[in-house]
Structure 1
Amino acid sequence: MNSQQTLTSHEKAVLLALKDSPKCTPEELSQTSKLKTETAMHAAFLLEDKGYVNVEDSVVKKYGLTSEGEEYAKNGLPERQIIDSISEPVPIEDLKQRFSPMMVGIATGWLLRKGWAVIDNGQMVPFSQPEPGIDEVLLGRLEGKTLSFEELENFEKVLKDLIKRKLVYEDEDKFRTIEITDEGLDIARSGLEIQEEITQLTSRLLKSGEWKNKTFRPYDISIPPKPVYGGKIHPYQRLLNQMRHIFLEMGFTEIKGDIVQSSFWNFDTLFQPQDHPAREMQDTFHLDSTAQLPEEYMSKVCAMHEYGGENESTGWGGKWCEEIAAKNVLRTHTTSVTIKYLADNPQPPVKAFCIDRAYRRETIDPTHTPEFEQLEGVVMDKDMSFANLLGCLTEFYHRMGFEDVRFRPGYFPYTEPSVEPEVYIEGMGWVELGGAGIFRKEVTEPLGIKEPVLAWGLGVSRVAMLKLGLKDLRELYRSDIDWLRQSEVFRL
């Protein structure tokens, strides 16, 4: 196939236009080739890949005066106006009354910098009347017009000063030129013929036989096609969906709750003392609103905190404050959702989970963000044991693809016994992924719950980092289109 046969009709039109005008702008090329500007430039770029034309982009910087610069070009710079108005020492306070305080402030620095005056005992002491400075000359040249950098080359240093003073602005004019090469010119002179080209073979052309007398646009099958990326669910959302499906398959009910919770449901029902550090501003987002507390639970929760209620607990002692419990917060964990669900459903059996956002006052870094997803779950039924809790979590992590799971003793204010589940990651060792335990009676009895409650709160984002091979938690929330395109699509 010769070089002419590989050219499209648009490319031929561009070459023929450049044969008579070897160098032109996109607009000129469009006019001579009788193609739209966009079409002509597309053909020019294709010809550039083949070495037949050169497309060059250039940028010309230009400079003009701002509105403030125009004012000073007409009336003089602040330092010039002041130095011209005095011939002997003048108190600065008098100058502020004659001119504006702001103008005197600006002028003073430049008067000292240029050596036109000094300050002595609160007075402006002028020297002899100075000749116009190079900055004043430049303001005069730019007044009412714009000039290119080449026209102002001798003013380069003072130009930067005036730009910093916001008296001169810098702008750019972008130019593009298309120039035919010697090889392209040889082809253009070889007798190019522009014929109608068929870009797609249709059923009409086949049935009528017209295709036999048509010219088809050539295609270079050696050029690799652009990659095509199909639509897909965000990798993090796919992982959340996988966790959700696992618990649904295990017979759990998914629940939801409000982001704004009272301190009563977020802390007090979980037997966290009202002076616990977790309630302080460094951990919790406190709101300036309050909530109405549930009368049926309030007195029992109060008694449990103060003296242990009706069981063998001694409580936390001190005075439980209703006002503190009524204050609203952004939920620090989704346990506030599951504990309220248990209070509304105190009769066994209950198997529920919640995957949702929690909020804490954290400094943003590769492993912490102020808002994050948490996977919360509870099982309440007769004869539930600690072994059932470990078995449930082990099954979940196995279904998530973690082969080795173990549990380390832990401490949480509202569960006893408590554990922290860990999974083994090659190259990282054992990684802790959350907390779990059995709700203490101080939590369940005030809410009328008689049976044992298995509970857990798992860090979803940490699991996502392990599964997706990320080192920075913030990557889960960034709009990185390349990462999204290249992320693996996995079946649930």
Structure 2
Amino acid sequence: MVSDYKLTPNEKNVLIALDELRTADPGELARKAGMKVETAMQAAFLLDENGLARVDEAVTETYELTDEGKRYADEGLPERQIIDALSEPTSMDELKEMFPPPVVGIATGWLRRKGWASIEKGMVVPTGNAELSDDEKVLGRFGDMARTIGELEAGPGLIKDILKRKLITKNEDKCRLVSITSQGLEVVAAGIKVEEEVAQISSEMLKSGQWKDMKFRSYNIQTPPRHIYGAKVHPYQRLIDQMRRIFLDMGFTEIKGEIVQSSFWNFDSLFQPQDHPAREMQDTFHLSSRSELPLEYKDKVCAMHEHGGDIDSTGWGGNWSEEIACKDVLRTHTTALTIKYLSDNPEPPVKAFSIDRAYRRETIDPTHTPEFEQLEGVVMDKDMSFANLLGCLKEFYHRMGFEDVRFRPGYFPYTEPSVEPEVYVDGLGWVELGGAGVFRKEVTEPLGIKYPVLAWGLGVSRLAMLKLGLKDLRLLYQSDIDWLRKSPVCQL
């Protein structure tokens, strides 16, 4: 019968010990079996799986007084201290002179709740009925020991109230008991022989021939092995790398830039008016530092904002402020990088993109975070048209695996015409994934750019949510090891 269970020596020793003890805690069982507690419990759990033993776990809840609870157990609760001191209606000001303000503040509500006093026109009026309350009785039952709820003779509601007042703390003590089953008793009665077993053969055993007299531990080849998760790149990073590879394969140059940008490059160079709502504190992280304005562009940008410069534009009117343009911000979009790159490379052809983080004062929820990745790109060359822009974006989304792509008219301060690309997702319908357009001449002219510029800013995180089947943007940034292990590897 023992052979039917394929017991290890440790299991056999524990089963023999349980035959004598019948029921034991881990420490007692380990001492009886002559092994460490951890080893004994490991064997006990294996016996439990085979039905030869049973491991029961009980949780005992106990309560003990906090320092504040001990003080009130000795001195009386705040409401008891005050009601014992009152013989007639007394003003709140007088009470504050008689007792520390915290005691009066705590006691007032409880005096009314317990019906010991009422508050009338700033006066505390005793009702004459201040018998010992249930919470006082409970505090008196503690002494210097931890107590169970049964020993305190208190209901759950009363204990909950005292816990809220932080007069007691709750402790949970876990206790395990191991007992032998009827099947286990039968196995012991049939006879158990404890023999040393060898798990792995050694070269010395082979040379000496000792292996012939050894008893080898049997293995169950039907037991499924532990799943091994190989190292892999984070799913979000894999998608970012895939997007990067697509644009590199399309002949684009990747650019990088500083997180901290002046308002000039982040807003003004993009013909965004200085009183635009996006510059307000709820959208932008403003910094105390300042940056120097580029001398070769500031006057032309100023003229473009105030009256439209030398082109057929009216500008925004008013006075353009260098003081505002100098202020540093955390970049609210990566367009600040591409416009700066264009100003340094005004001659065609230019094909550049950036995948990097932008920062905005957003309330964190399933679809918004204060920092997020943005995919920015520009194409500048002779005879570039709006159709070229749509074709470029459609090609990108097709390579990302979206078959159906369409474009909806949109509005952005620095592009005209402007569109919002959308892809079709089963179960969701058409999903908008960013904005695109052709830079207005108010943007390109002050920087010396003479040819059309196609530009786009696409939401990387939203695209990643669609590809990974997520409904909460925050999951992209949380270290959920189980999700990371089980997420499939994207084939680039």
Q: Taking structure 2 as the reference length, what is the TM-score of the superposition?
A: 0.91
Task: Look up the equivalent residue of 2:490 and give its one-letter code.
Answer: F
SS in 2 for 1:336: helix
Q: Distance in 1 between matches of 2:82 and 2:144?
A: 24
Q: CA deviation at 1:424?
A: 3.2
Does the C-alpha gap of structure 1 residues 407 and 53 become closer, same or farther in structure 2, counting only changes over 3 Å? same
* Partner residue, 1:149: 149
Runs of 4+ residues over 6 Å off in structure 1: none
Q: Deviations over 1:189-227 (max 9, x none)?
A: 333122221223445544554333222222233333332
Q: Distance in 1 between matches of 2:163 and 2:466?
A: 51
Aligned partners of 1:83 and 1:129 also within 8 Å: no
Does the C-alpha gap of structure 1 residues 323 and 25 become closer, same or farther in structure 2, counting only changes over 3 Å? same
Identify the range of structure 1 (199-208 vs 65-74) with the bigger mean alpha-carbon deviation. 199-208
Aligned partners of 2:307 and 2:315 also within 8 Å: yes
Q: Distance in 1 between matches of 2:137 and 2:431?
A: 70
Does the C-alpha gap of structure 1 residues 285 and 218 become closer, same or farther in structure 2, counting only changes over 3 Å? same
Alignment partner of 1:45 is 2:45: yes
Task: Look up the equivalent residue of 1:43 and give its one-letter code.
Answer: A
* Unmatched tracts of structure 1, length 5 or more: none
Q: Distance in 2 between matches of 1:102 and 1:71?
A: 14
Q: Distance in 2 between matches of 1:409 and 1:107?
A: 65
Does the C-alpha gap of structure 1 residues 456 and 105 become closer, same or farther in structure 2, counting only changes over 3 Å? closer
* Partner residue, 1:353: 353
Once the two structures are superposed, the pairs formed by residues 300-449 of structure 1 within 5 Å of their partners are: 300-449=300-449
Q: Distance in 1 between matches of 2:187 and 2:196?
A: 19
Q: Distance in 2 between matches of 1:127 and 1:411?
A: 71
Does the C-alpha gap of structure 1 residues 52 and 92 become closer, same or farther in structure 2, counting only changes over 3 Å? same
Alignment partner of 1:299 is 2:299: yes
The alignment's C-alpha RMSD in Å is 2.5
* Partner residue, 1:17: 17
Q: Deviations over 1:147-190 (max 9, x none)?
A: 22232235665444433332222222221111111211221233
* Partner residue, 1:188: 188
Q: CA deviation at 1:372?
A: 1.8
* Partner residue, 2:100: 100
Aligned partners of 1:84 and 1:129 also within 8 Å: no
Aligned partners of 2:149 and 2:155 also within 8 Å: no
* Partner residue, 2:250: 250
Q: CA deviation at 1:415?
A: 2.2
Percent of aligned positions that are identical: 67
Aligned partners of 1:7 and 1:218 also within 8 Å: no
Does the C-alpha gap of structure 1 residues 315 and 130 become closer, same or farther in structure 2, counting only changes over 3 Å? closer
Identify the range of structure 1 (317-326 vs 150-159) with the bigger mean alpha-carbon deviation. 150-159
Alignment partner of 1:83 is 2:83: yes
Task: Look up the equivalent residue of 2:443 and give its one-letter code.
Answer: V
Does the C-alpha gap of structure 1 residues 44 and 458 become closer, same or farther in structure 2, counting only changes over 3 Å? same
Aligned partners of 1:5 and 1:218 also within 8 Å: no
* Partner residue, 1:232: 232
Once the two structures are superposed, the pairs formed by residues 110-125 of structure 1 within 5 Å of their partners are: 110-119=110-119, 122-125=122-125
Identify the range of structure 1 (242-251 vs 146-155) with the bigger mean alpha-carbon deviation. 146-155
Task: Look up the equivalent residue of 1:63 and give its one-letter code.
Answer: Y
* Unmatched tracts of structure 2, length 5 or more: none
Aligned partners of 2:52 and 2:181 also within 8 Å: yes
Does the C-alpha gap of structure 1 residues 150 and 422 become closer, same or farther in structure 2, counting only changes over 3 Å? closer
Aligned partners of 2:425 and 2:431 also within 8 Å: yes
SS in 2 for 1:189: helix
Q: Distance in 1 between matches of 2:89 and 2:136?
A: 24
* Partner residue, 1:215: 215
Q: CA deviation at 1:319?
A: 1.5
Q: Distance in 2 between matches of 1:119 and 1:188?
A: 75
Q: CA deviation at 1:404?
A: 3.2
Does the C-alpha gap of structure 1 residues 180 and 278 become closer, same or farther in structure 2, counting only changes over 3 Å? same
* Partner residue, 2:31: 31
Does the C-alpha gap of structure 1 residues 431 and 119 become closer, same or farther in structure 2, counting only changes over 3 Å? closer
Q: CA deviation at 1:136?
A: 3.2
Q: CA deviation at 1:127?
A: 5.6
